Amino acid sequence: MNDLLENRILWAALAANLSAQLIKLVVYYLLERRWTWDRLLESGGMPSSHSAMVVGLATAVGLVEGWGSSAFAIALVFALIVMYDATGIRRAAGQQAELLNDLVEELRTVLHEGFKPRPLKELLGHTYLEVVAGATLGFFVSWWLTVNWSRLFGG
């Protein structure tokens, strides 16, 4: 258990994710002028917390295990797949959900009562800017935490 708690690679990835989620909360506050606490746990939005986490993971692995290690290669490929998926498949699914929600709303106006389906979640994927912002954040948070680990935690 102690090894897990002292795993700076894991903590760097988690810190990158948490940083992105907190920034996302602030961004939505600035846009909507209200705190939307659900944003702390939701996917989608600026910056991409998935991208921050996987780039943070790859960065920490590179710094700790070495840039030429097999572990870094695996983490990098994993990060690229996650970011590709966020801008491709998940984004397309979000756009389809938006279209379906619009169609359902039109049906509701025609059918009036008794037709109350739950709206589909639309914020699923990311724009390229959101992914780049998350990846950049993940790199810097992970780099800073990994490089300063001994100074911060004495180990």
List the chain domain ranges: 2-88+125-153
pLDDT reported for residue 148: 94
Identify the sign of the CA torsion 122, 124, 128, 129.
positive
Residue 135 token pair: 């990846």
pLDDT reported for residue 52: 97
pLDDT mean values, one per 10 residues, the chain (155 residues):
88 96 90 83 84 98 97 97 82 68 70 64 72 96 94 82
pLDDT reported for residue 46: 86
Q: How far is CA 2 from CA 5, 15, 16, 118, in A?
A: 5, 18, 21, 45
Identify the sign of the CA torsion 36, 42, 45, 49.
positive
pLDDT reported for residue 155: 63
pLDDT reported for residue 90: 63
